[in-house]
Amino acid sequence: MNILFLTTHLNTGGITSYLLTLGQALVKKGHRLLVASSGGNCVARFEEAGIRHVQMNIRTKSEVHPKLLFAWPVLNRLIRQENINIIHAQTRVTQVLGYGLSLSCGVKMVTTCHGFFRARWFRKTFPCWGEAVIAISRPVSHHLNQDFGVPYEKIHLIANGIDLNRFVMADESKRRAIRHKWNIAHEPVIGTIARLSDVKGIDILIKSMPLVLKERPSAILMIAGQGPEEANLRKLTQELSLIKHVRFENIINQPQDILPIFDVFVMPSLMEGLGLSVMEAQACGIPVVASRVGGLVDLIEDGKSGYLVHSQDETVLAGRILDIFRHPDHARAMALQARSNIENHFSEGMMVEETVKIYEQYSGC
């Protein structure tokens, strides 16, 4: 089967990780993949996996931007020349672009909804969902139906899958080696990997640190990622006199290279479609504290496979982080339960198998 992925960019992030995991597995199964995007720092990884990248100037947040009009005829020719069987769009912008291409080329399109859209009139008037919509969690599926009127029979619940060969539980010797690489000795490490946007709630995590430090004075918070809120978060760190305890790291293209140094992984989001970085941490056997929002409730059973807390409450967040350090045996048991949950319900193989079924259903291949 010849498959075209459409996305606005291939920079580090949840959508890029989703496409790379899905794409690599599809190539191994003998499918031929192309991905059209405006490029990014992960392009080389796609090409190394045998996925051809087609550079298109389509990075915009506007569904009616002139860039899309210029890209349309180029992609139209590409679809015909490469005998594309299915179009798979990932963002609202490429969803609209892909819908037009689907109509003009007679090639079916599916979309993946990775999170929550604002119910703007244009999105309701011109839904452009394609033949089928993949929702990555139950809350996202409910959002599509309740806020946009997408019928449940058109929605397919397929959670993100984790490559369990990449994300493994590190033994203590490997953890020590990776900690040495990051210049960390025995300090307790609280970590997060996220795009630094306001919806991720990283400011709440920073505000929780003074409370954590009262009991664990040598603790370090590592924030891996970049985004529009970085300057504000650095300023907040200075205002709270936390410079010695908060480390900002650049974009992490290979999260499995940093995850083993974390003693606890925190995702304090205000909204989350599912939580790919949480899943990766769980696969690595790291105890997780996360907000009780969106798809995160599908990943964590409070007190059994991690802790769920109300968002925007740094006091409760700090308390649960400290509980991880206070009760290491219970933390380890929760981490093992979370790893088992990933193996049983969120594997790469399950995601690929269910996605291929949708491709076959609508492409006729």
Residue 211, token pair as written in the block: 């409370």
Question: Using CA atoms, how far apart are residues 98 and 112, in angstroms rounded to an integer?
Answer: 12
Condensed to tens digits (0 to 9), the pLDDT of residues 68-112 reads 889 999 999 999 999 999 999 999 999 999 999 999 999 999 999
- pTM for the predicted model, two decimal places: 0.90
Evaluate whether 190 touches 263 at the Cβ level (below 8 Å): yes
What is residue 206's predicted lDDT score, i.e. its pLDDT?
Answer: 98
Backbone angles phi, psi at 221, to 5 degrees: -105, 120
Backbone angles phi, psi at 264, to 5 degrees: -150, 140
Burial per residue of 12-35, b for 16 or more beta-carbon CB atoms within 10 angstroms, e otherwise: bbbbbbbbbbbbbbbbeeebbbbb
Average pLDDT per run of 10 along the chain, which is 365 residues long?
96 91 95 96 95 94 85 94 97 94 95 88 81 95 94 95 90 88 92 95 98 98 94 98 95 84 97 94 97 95 97 97 98 97 93 96 85
Domains of the chain are: 2-161+347-363 (3.40.50.2000), 172-345 (3.40.50.2000)
What is residue 257's predicted lDDT score, i.e. its pLDDT?
Answer: 87
Task: List the one residue out of 327, 265, 258 whose CA is nearest residue 296.
Answer: 265
Question: Using CA atoms, how far apart are residues 296 and 253, in angstroms rounded to an integer?
Answer: 22
Evaluate whether 60 touches 92 at the Cβ level (below 8 Å): no
The owner of tokens 């349309």 is 72
